[in-house]
Amino acid sequence: MSKFDLTHASVAQINETKKEIESMERMLQADRTGSQRIQDEVEFKGEIAKKKKFLQTHVPKKFRVADGNKAYTYAKKLEKEISDAMPSRKKYFQAYPNANDTRREQSFEETVQMQMKFQSDKALKQKIQEYKHIMRRIDPDNPNITNIENLGR
C-alpha cells in the first residue's frame, strides 16, 4: 500500500462531518437531560467515534517546509505528465460531427479514443491520485486545488 492510497477529505466534507459531530453531541447532551430521543446510547456514541476517526484519518495534514518543497516539485512533474496525456480543451468540448463531414468525424473519433485512453490508463490514474494527494496536503483549505480539469491545455 502506497502512502498515496489514502484519500483526503475535501473542505466541504470536513466541515459537514464536524457539523454532524457537533449536532450528535448536542443531541446526546439533550437526551441526558430527559427528552429520551436516543434508543441505544452505545451505538450512538459509536457513530460519533466513527466520524471522529474519519476526521483523524482523512483530514490532510500540511507538509513541513522541506517535505512540501520536494512534494511540490514532484507534483509539478506529475502535472506536466497528466496535462500532456489529457485531450486539449478544444478537442474535449468538440461538437459531434454531422453525417457529411468525414474529416471532422475522424477528428472526433480520435478525441474519443484519446479520452478513453486517458480514463483507462492505470499508470496515469496512479499519477492523478498522487497529484491530488500532494496538492490537497500543500493547501488543504483550497477546494479547487485537486481539480485536474485545470491542467488541460
- What pLDDT is recorded for position 7? 76
* C-alpha to C-alpha distance for 92 and 117, rounded to whole angstroms: 13
- Give helix 41-58 / helix 11-30 axis angle, nearest 10°: 160
- What pLDDT is recorded for position 67? 84
- What pLDDT is recorded for position 76? 92
* C-alpha to C-alpha distance for 50 and 44, rounded to whole angstroms: 10
- What pLDDT is recorded for position 73? 92
- What pLDDT is recorded for position 102? 66
C-alpha distances (whole Å) from 141 to each of 10, 90, 110, 149 are: 8, 30, 38, 19
Angle at the Cα of 11 (from 28 to 3), degrees rounded to 5? 105
Find out whether 14 and 55 touch, Cβ atoms under 8 Å.
Answer: yes
pLDDT by residue for the chain (153 residues), tens digit each?
Answer: 456 666 788 888 999 999 999 999 988 888 777 766 777 888 988 999 999 999 988 888 888 888 888 888 999 999 999 988 887 776 666 666 676 766 666 777 787 888 888 888 899 999 998 999 888 888 888 888 888 887 776
Nearest C-alpha neighbor of 25 from the set 56, 9, 47, 55: 47
Q: What is the rounded end-to-end Cα distance, in angstroms, of the chain? A: 32
Q: DSSP labels for 71-92?
A: HHHHHHHHHHHHHHHSPPHHHH
